[in-house]
Amino acid sequence: MAKYTPMIEQYLRIKADYTDAFLFFRLGDFYEMFFEDALKASQELEITLTSRDGGGTERIPMCGVPHHSAQNYIQQLIEKGFKVAICEQTENPKQAKGVVKREVVQLITPGTVMDGKVLDEKDNNFIASVTDFEDGTFGVIYSDLTTGESKVTLLQGDWIDVIGELYGLSAREVILRDDIEQHVEKLIKERIPVTISHEERVNTPEGLENLVEGLEQNKLRKTSGRLFNYLLRTQKRSLGHLQPVEYYQINQYMKLDLHSKRNLELVETIRTKGKKGSLLWLLDKTITAMGGRMLRQWIERPLLKEQSINERLSIVSTLLEQFFEREGLRERLKEVYDLERLAGRVAFGNVNARDLIQLKKSLEQIPDILELVSKLDHSYTTKLVSEIDPCSELREMLDEGIHEHPPLSVKEGGIIKDGFHEALDRYRDASRNGKEWIAALEKKEREQTGIRSLKIGYNKIFGYFIEVTKANLHLLDDDRYERKQTLSNAERYITPELKEKESLILEAEEKSVELEYEIFLELREQVKQFIPSLQALAKFVSEMDVLQCFATISDEYGYVRPEFSKERKVEIHSGRHPVVEKVMHDNEYVANGCLLEQGREILLITGPNMSGKSTYMRQVALTAILAQIGCFVPAEKAVLPIFDQVFTRIGAADDLVAGQSTFMVEMLEAKNALTKATQDSLILLDEIGRGTSTYDGMALAQAIIEYIHNEIGAKTLFSTHYHELTELEQMLSHLQNVHVRAVEENGRVVFLHKVQEGAADRSYGIHVAELAELPAPLIERAKMILADLESQNQQVNSEEVSTIDTMEPSEDKQLSFFVAENKVKEKELKSSKQENNVVEALLQLDLLEMTPIDAMNELYKLQKKLKNN
């Protein structure tokens, strides 16, 4: 570095410690970036790239942003997943000997951002840390720095399970050990959009021991220690608002893997990745930002404990019955700001006077909220009210100390009320009386000189002055006037009397502003003492907000309270898909029931595309999730078991980023369900096997159904286009056929969207293609081919052997589909004439010149000939 200037050498030394971040290097009124940072930042921020002489042989790339508008640029980088290290001047340039001292005062990352547009008020901004232990367990902790909440758990499994947990949290950043394997980082980045950081230290930092006192296992303490060391190293300030780490067990909640959360569109849609169209979008009638965040957490973690679920449901029921209390609560909540994040800003030291006024206004609503909640006829809410500290003392202190409409800056005065601080009142009195004296002096000078336009003014450079226009200068004959400044059309003067008063007034104003800032800092420190109470109050308000939200939704859309069955029974009468029902607006939603009970564990669903099979399957899962988060459900009646897990394979989105085909994704998601489901789980499988050849797909589908039936026993909804599988109803005692009805009218298909018992009679595939407006000649040709195939099929005699047969587990047996095929072949051998015809026709086919569809049609015809025989 010797070839560079001292300032560039300083930059390079600091940058060496922050190689994975943009270094915002303070130079005067700008944050500058050099070398690779400048090249990359100029592209990402679309700002001008320049260069400067740095002492070397070549000019150094450089770009910069004004310090007063840097926040906008920082937000842009954070939104894109980058990190920004803020390097400030730490000494006065006038007093510096050589290069001004500089150091990084904060590292801003996607998981540690505290304010700005990057934060969605109703979304947590989680940063997570994962510690992998030698015995195969993983410690996972997540924290929201803006609210101070932290939760930790241990899980068994592999990195895929860890990724599922991180996906459920929507973590923006994850911290791993320094020497983590590259393939692990690659796997995480492929699956979820997250920034990866590193921290090696795992011992609990000094001063934060109280946060892990409740954690008995050393693994949990180490997991938490990695996160806290990273936060201290990057934020370089107080973390006093962090709440004690809460331990949770994975099996406390319904398990929803990455695929199920995505397929069921719980918090975002598959196509747009946005909130609109998701279950969260439908349910979110919360009033406060805190309630919105808690609602999302509840949706992603449905409960398993029936007592806790019923507790929530009973409060929702009470709120439904007590309309006026519910509406009163909603009105009061509208005046409550984000207590959690306000407390975080207080601890972090970036709160201003306007934030404290928001805090005061929020606290003013708490007595009314407590009174309304206490009127609810429920033991749980009564207990909650008795435990809450309304922070009356803090409210009174803020009311007495802070002006109602303070300025945004905390260093320019105008924040503290009169009468709050004796010394500040004295300074203000001197300043105000001095200004009154100035006004009296101006009047006196006008009378003495006879100059009506004479005025006394002030500016920061010259202080107070008497200004006289040049046309009136001849009226000044007093030696008291000392010229101070000459203007184009006036002269400015000072008198001994004015000079004396000026020093008193300016001293009072300067000391007033300084003292007011000190008082504000003291006030902020006093507010810090109330942070635990504010966080408890925020949790109470959030919970009541979510519960009133459930009651409001249930009232508006006609939801009913679910019942829970010990016999693992699913009995839904006139169930609806909550989101689809809302999106349809004026169109009447066709409700459908669902019955799964002992001896009826699997529903095999057939019916044409677009008929509503996937919607029906999703609505059953969403009904179960709504019930287990404590919300009423869209049905006339719902009796449900408590599901421990929900597995889904719905949709055909390829995982191309990870290099996996549709069929591979199908198989991986199916494997996840088949290896982890229990008899208390819910499995939804939509058209498994369609991603491969017909025979392979049908064989796999049948084998999967048999495995679930014989080995797992989970409640299962299985939709398929393989109509041959409907014969399994005769072979598997716990399987029942149902279908979604459709009828043909005037040559066009009409979907009735009604689920009925039995198998579908046909698929209406060509009619669906016609609705999709495929070319008319193509549709006509397809109808001709279909008619030809159906006429051949009608010739099949009654002795035709079914291609479906159940399979008994045996090492020396193939899949039942192929066993059945061998039986067909044995029958075919009895007619050598027909066989010879088929073989001859097969030999004459030029397969290399045929399209796949032509080949399939020809093979289909040959197969029918063999079957007819």
DSSP letter (8 states) at residue 708: I
| The token pair that represents 64 in the structure block | 């910069």
d(CA 728, CA 848): 37
| The token pair that represents 527 in the structure block | 């507010």
Q: Is 225 annotated as a binding residue?
A: no
CA 652 to chain centre: 24
Residue of 739, 667, 729, 677 lying closest to 708 (CA atoms):
677
To 10 degrees, what angle do helices 323-333 and 531-557 make? 130
Q: Is 607 annotated as a binding residue?
A: yes
Task: Kindly report the number of other CB atoms within 10 A of residue 386's CB atom.
Answer: 9
**C-alpha separations of 744 from 606, 610, 613, 774, 783 in Å:** 17, 14, 18, 19, 14
The residues, any chain, with a CB within 8 Å of residue 351's CB and separated by 6 or more, are 342, 345, 524, 527
766 and 782 in contact (C-beta within 8 Å)?
yes
Q: Are strands 173-176 and 592-596 parallel, antiparallel or unpaired?
A: unpaired
Residue of 164, 172, 224, 163 lying closest to 196 (CA atoms):
172
Q: Are strands 22-27 and 84-89 parallel, antiparallel or unpaired?
A: parallel
d(CA 439, CA 460): 19
Q: Is 609 annotated as a binding residue?
A: yes
SS3 32: strand
DSSP letter (8 states) at residue 798: T
Q: Is 613 annotated as a binding residue?
A: yes
DSSP 339-401: HHHHHHHHHHT---HHHHHHHHHHHHHHHHHHHHHHTSS-HHHHHHHHH----HHHHHHHHHH
303 and 564 in contact (C-beta within 8 Å)?
no
Placement of tokens 């700008």 in the chain:
30
| Residue 498 CB burial class (10 angstroms; 0-12, 13-18, ≥19) | buried
538 and 339 in contact (C-beta within 8 Å)?
yes
268 and 279 in contact (C-beta within 8 Å)?
no
Q: Is 93 annotated as a binding residue?
A: no
Q: Is 614 annotated as a binding residue?
A: yes
Q: Which residues pair with 107 in a beta bridge?
A: 85
DSSP 621-679: HHHHHHHHHT--BSSSEEEE---SEEEEE-S---BTTTTB-HHHHHHHHHHHHHHH--T
For the chain, helix (H) and strand (E) counts, in that order, are 27, 27
d(CA 839, CA 823): 18
Task: Kindly report the number of other CB atoms within 10 A of residue 775's CB atom.
Answer: 9
Q: Is 362 annotated as a binding residue?
A: no
708 and 683 in contact (C-beta within 8 Å)?
yes
Sequence letter at residue 545: D
| Residue 88 CB burial class (10 angstroms; 0-12, 13-18, ≥19) | middle
User: What 3 state SS string does 255-318 have?
Assistant: EECHHHHHHCCCCCCCCCCCCCCCHHHHHCCCCCHHHHHHHHHHHHCCECCHHHHHHHHHHHHH
The alpha carbon dihedral of 250, 256, 262, 264 has a sign of negative
d(CA 587, CA 663): 35
d(CA 280, CA 809): 44
To 10 degrees, what angle do helices 379-387 and 306-321 make? 90
| The token pair that represents 703 in the structure block | 């084998």
Task: Kindly report the number of other CB atoms within 10 A of residue 287's CB atom.
Answer: 21
801 and 812 in contact (C-beta within 8 Å)?
no
The alpha carbon dihedral of 821, 827, 833, 834 has a sign of negative
Residue of 642, 567, 816 lying closest to 254 (CA atoms):
642
Annotated binding-site positions: 607-614
Annotated binding-site positions for ATP: 607-614
